[in-house]
Structure 1
Amino acid sequence: MKQNGCPVPKTTVSTTSSYRYTDNGDGTVTDNRTGLIWLKNTNCFGQQNWKKAMQSAAKLAQGQCGLRDGSRAGMWRLPTIKEWEAMMDTRYRKPALSNAAGTGQWKEGDAFSSVKYWYWSSTEHSTSSAWYVNLSVGSVSGNVKTSLNYVWAVRGGH
């Protein structure tokens, strides 16, 4: 309770849209279910090993990858494996993602562009491997960090 006797407001994820994803018009897409902000261009960096993927995401800023959101280096990162699991919609295959409304399978430009199948997470599996997501079938697996997977940056969350 505040000193004036009013309850302290609880922090909640914005639900300004009934859609699963909102294209923010600045190179970013908000996941209305988790509050995470994803890079709209899912193939900006191509395939990279895990260390380079971590660096590329961390260095991402306004003016790169179609970003016009005022973001600076250090604001972006790779998603955790838990964040990937929350992102996937296993009702679908190739890719296991829903459309912006959350009512059907993703199609090019709704709300993301250039979706590929294999993306790194920031979560390590061991000292020599990290988790990645396979959006072709909606699964997660470990892979050696020297392997090449795609980079899809996110910001917000934990």
Structure 2
Amino acid sequence: MSTLRSKVRELEHKYSAIKGVFNNIYIGVIMKKTTMKIISMSAVLAAALLSGAAIVLATGSGGNLPVTGQTTEYIEGDDGTYQAGTDFPSIRFCDNNDGTMTDNMTGLMWVKNANAIGTLHQSFDTFGIVDWVNLIFCTAGDGAVTWQEALTFVAGLNNGTYKCGVTPDYSDWRLPTINELETLINYQIRPQTWLTSQGFSNIPTINSSRYWSSTTFAPNTSWVLMADFSNQACVTLTSKDYCMVNVWPVRGPLQD
């Protein structure tokens, strides 16, 4: 065990620069029976973390985190093996029949129409562009807008300018945090298929299913985290000024 501790201390010292930028980064130690394996970061990953090209989300304790939804084991030790976490509710989402959906796991309320701009308020989206950051072509009226436009649209939803098919006059809609967007993911199935089966409508096509979060990147606030549902599911950094991404308003207390 003393050898283990010294090795972990060595790794912590080696990557202290990363730990200085990203809080609560833990070096993983996997112990299985009598075999010990230290998981450390490669030089490439270290450089990516420091530059902001990659982010590691880690925790020292599982707490009450939900399951990922993954039930298939692809390699021993993955989340399909253990399926750790709190199970999804038997009825995950409730259709409120007023243009909103409530997540029974998180308590968050989402607009049922996952692309309200592209289907109900196309005149709001008047600009098409080649998104060179993400190599995606966006056309006027498809629902993909800049981050500032996303904030403006949500403000319009709150003051009644845009309805999004929602009948109650709620005035506390906002852009979701990146963690809130991640709660919509079931890693056993493609996000579009999963969310449509749960009652949401107008999930954008596979090549354009990306959503703005309200989570800016502290080392460089011209970048924002977005949820990309187009390639199964992932979180990426993107420019809030030069990228066009979809908007999915949420309301509720969860925020993290």
1:64 counterpart = 2:163: yes
Alignment identity in percent? 38
Question: Could you tell me whether the CA contact under 8 Å between 2:108 and 2:252 is conserved in 1?
Answer: yes
- Largest Rg, 1 or 2: 2
Residue aligning to 1:122: 214
Aligned counterpart for 2:182 among listed residues 79, 85, 91: 85
Q: Does 1:42 align with 2:141?
A: no
The equivalent of 1:9 in structure 2 is none
- Verify: 1:98 aligned to 2:170, yes or no: no
Query: Structure 1 stretches of 5 or more lacking a match?
Result: 1-16, 100-105
> Could you tell me how far apart the structure 2 residues matched to 1:71 and 1:154 are?
11
Residue type at the aligned position of 1:119: Y
Number of the residue aligned with 1:20 = 92
Aligned CA distance change for structure 1 residues 65 and 139 (closer, same or farther; 3 Å): same
**1:24-53 superposed Cα distances (whole Å, 9 cap, x missing partner):** 000000000000000001111211100110
For the 8 Å contact 1:27–1:40, the answer to whether it is kept is: yes
For residues 203 and 153 of structure 2, what CA distance do their matches in structure 1 show? 18
Shift of 1:54: 1.6
Provide the rounded CA distance (Å) in 1 between the counterparts of 2:168 and 2:186: 27
Aligned residues: 131
Shift of 1:138: 1.0
Query: Going by fraction, where is helix more abundant, 1 or 2?
Result: 2
1:143 is matched with 238
Aligned residue for 1:111?
199
Equivalent position of 2:249 in the other structure: 153
- Structure 1 residues 120 and 29: alpha-carbon distance in aligned structure 2, compared to 1, 3 A threshold: same
* Structure-2-length-normalised TM-score: 0.48
Q: Secondary structure at the match of 2:116?
A: coil
| Structure holding more strand per residue | 1
Please say which of residues 42-51 and 62-71 is displaced more in the overlay: 62-71
Paired with 1:19 and 1:94, the residues of 2 have a C-alpha distance of 17
- How far apart in 2 are the matches of 1:25 and 1:70? 14
Quick one: distance in 1 between partners of 2:190 and 2:113?
20
Contact 1:21/1:32 (<8 A) preserved: yes
> Deviations for 1:115-157, whole angstroms, at most 9, x for unmatched residues?
1211110101232110111112110101000200000000012
Alpha-carbon distance, 1:94 to partner: 5.2
Q: Using CA pairs below 8 Å that are at least 6 residues apart, which structure has the higher relative contact order?
A: 1
Secondary structure in 1 aligned to 2:153?
helix
Contact 2:174 2:250 in 1 (8 A): yes
Answer yes or no: is the 8 Å Cα contact 1:23–1:30 preserved in 2: yes
Q: Secondary structure at the match of 1:119?
A: strand
How far apart, CA to CA, are the structure 1 residues paired with 2:169 and 2:154? 15
* TM-score using structure 1 length: 0.76
1:103 counterpart residue number: none
